[in-house]
Amino acid sequence: MSLYLTDLGHGIQIYQDTDGYGFTQDSVLLANLASMNGKDSVLDLGCGSGVLGFLALKKKYVKRVVGLDIQPDVIDMCQKSIALNHLEDRFELKCGDVKDYKTLLKHGEFSKVICNPPYFKQTAAIDERSTSRQESSATLDDFIKAAGFSLKYGGELWIVLKVDRLSSLFGALGANKLEPKLMWLIYPKPSLDVDTIIVKAKKGGKVGLETKSLYVMDDEGNYTEEFNQLYH
């Protein structure tokens, strides 16, 4: 593993693996759109390099973050980033399979769960890079089960996915008493279809879904003002 540093702003630097799968703008958008504050204890399922957790701590000022990931090397890398940013007292890591959530996590421990899970079903041999993109051991259903178990009543799951997984997501949410309350539709450009969704689901919430739209670029290829405000 060959490491390099990435500056996230807000006084945060994190390590990434030259040969591994780097975080994408989807994680940054999720961290910025998710409603979190200083009262929240946050679980990051499939935390990877920890970008969601670091932004939650440094930009949203949450009380604490627990990150769970199945890859020991990635957990070790994230632990180095935690030490680099002096967050050992507020950012805890657990190495394990999301499917083992009942032994790794406590029931109803968190007020918020944030999650950028593998987007695609497994289609190839699994290595570190593909583990971050393809379902290997745990499926989308497993991530949602873990979120439902870990959230306190009234807590919120914030998750980012490709739009073609929407029906699977809503089915899993309903099976775990997580009611979708807000959905951001992320358009690459006004002339292109929705590519990505960010969904807020509330444990024990009432029926009622609000939708909002975000355009990453205009049709000339310039980042929109709204995107720049969120991303930076």
Instruction: Determine, yes or no, domain membership for 89.
Output: yes
Instruction: Determine, yes or no, domain membership for 11.
Output: yes
Instruction: Determine, yes or no, domain membership for 232.
Output: no
Q: Residue 63's domain spans which residues?
A: 3-182+194-212
Instruction: Determine, yes or no, domain membership for 111.
Output: yes
Cβ atoms of 147 and 109 closer than 8 Å: no
The CATH number for 41's domain is 3.40.50.150
Instruction: Determine, yes or no, domain membership for 38.
Output: yes
DSSP state of 164: G
C-alpha–C-alpha distance, residues 8 and 216, integer Å? 19
Instruction: Determine, yes or no, domain membership for 42.
Output: yes
Residues 6+ apart with CB under 8 A from 24: none
DSSP 15-76: EEETTS----HHHHHHHHHS---TT-EEEEET-TT-HHHHHHHHTS--SEEEEEES-HHHHH
| Phi, psi (deg, nearest 5) at residue 71 | -95, 110
Neighbours of 157 (CB within 10 A): 29
Instruction: Determine, yes or no, domain membership for 126.
Output: yes
Both tokens assigned to 194: 């929705």
DSSP 124-154: S---HHHHTTB-SSS-HHHHHHHHHHHEEEE
The total of structural domains in the chain comes to 1
Model pTM score = 0.91
How would you write the pLDDT of the chain (232 residues) with one tens digit per residue?
Answer: 789 999 998 899 999 998 887 788 899 999 999 999 999 999 999 999 999 999 999 999 999 999 999 999 999 999 999 999 999 999 999 999 999 999 999 999 999 999 999 976 654 444 444 444 444 679 999 999 999 999 999 999 999 999 999 999 999 999 999 999 999 999 999 999 999 999 999 999 999 999 999 999 999 999 999 999 887 6
Bridge partners of 109? none
Instruction: Determine, yes or no, domain membership for 227.
Output: no
Both tokens assigned to 171: 């089915």
